Amino acid sequence: MDGGGRFPEPLTVAGFAGAGAGAPATPPGAGRAAGGAGPRAPSGRLAGYLPRFLRPRRASVAVPLGRRMPRLLGTALVFGFFGAVSAVGFVAGGSYAEFSARHGTPADVAARALGFGLDKVTIAGLAQLRSAEILQAAGIDQRHSLPFLSVVEVRDRLSAVPLIGAVSVRKIYPRELLVTLTEREPSALWQRNGEIAVIAADGTVIDRMRDGRFEALPLVVGEEANLRTKDYLALLEAAGPLKDRIRAGTLVSGRRWTLKLDGIDVRLPETGAREAMARLVRLEAESRLLGKDIIAVDLRMPDRVVVRLTEEGAAARQEALKKQQKKPKGTET
């Protein structure tokens, strides 16, 4: 003690595990006095140099659960519960589907409100198709928004259109979609089993005949006639001045063509069809054969032309033959 009756050091020793404010500390050497084997706790200055697992640990102080939970957690849980119940009822009752059908998804509605609506769709490369057909096939309208529109899905839908050969889709923020496409080139019409389809030059069906846009294309008829389209187009070129009068070509037994020309059937041979067509052009120029009362011209034999008359033409010919037979011999006409 000092002269005032005070101790120069505090009566508590810092650094002992479990030592708390106001609690008497175990004096140094007390462990050895009790049993002689108790380890001495390192001082606070020495503990800073020891490994972590050798340092003395402070006793944890338990904090009440009520003080550890965030404030207003109970209120938030109540509102969250009722919100979840309302959302489930909104979806299960069909209101969500009706809302989406009219206005789009909530995400689209929010994006449009922020100025990212789908206000403009630019389509490049149109030839036979129309803009309305592209939009319908792509499945896009004013309910969509640009951020939440999937260009992959739009491209896949347009690629499924038979008349479209290639397509690319690109977003142009904030409100424009650019669609660039390449149409397949239609070459002819193909009629089979009463149905007419639009085909390419290689015979691939690229669309079905839905309106009058393709009515001026050449028409081929019959099974596998689409695969012989190039041959038929070559015959049209060989027809020269008669080309515009040919209405259709029918492939017979997959071997030869019969042309429909102003209501007259022109039967061409299996081989040498172009040469036979040239013969028909000469006959028409010399004798106006196709203007007579005939319903068929058979050019399958290279050395002759066989024609079939109409009923009226056949009756008139029979009448003319009878008159010739009744004439007396030597009568001048």
Domain 106-183 falls in which CATH fold? Ubiquitin-like (UB roll) (3.10.20)
pLDDT at 201: 85
Domain 188-323 falls in which CATH fold? Rossmann fold (3.40.50)
110 alpha-carbon distance from chain centroid: 26
pTM of the full structure: 0.56
Instruction: Choose the weakest-confidence range: 87-96, 235-244, 254-263.
Output: 87-96
- Is the pLDDT at 227 greater than 60? The verdict is yes
Give the model confidence (pLDDT) of 296-330 as tens digits.
999 999 888 999 888 776 676 666 666 666 665 55
Domain boundaries, the chain: 106-183, 188-323
Q: What is the C-alpha to C-alpha distance for residues 23 and 9, in angstroms, rounded to an integer? A: 16
Listing from the earlier edge strand, what are the strands of the sheet with 264-267? 205-208, 195-199, 188-192, 219-221, 246-252, 256-261, 264-267, 294-298, 306-309
193 alpha-carbon distance from chain centroid: 29
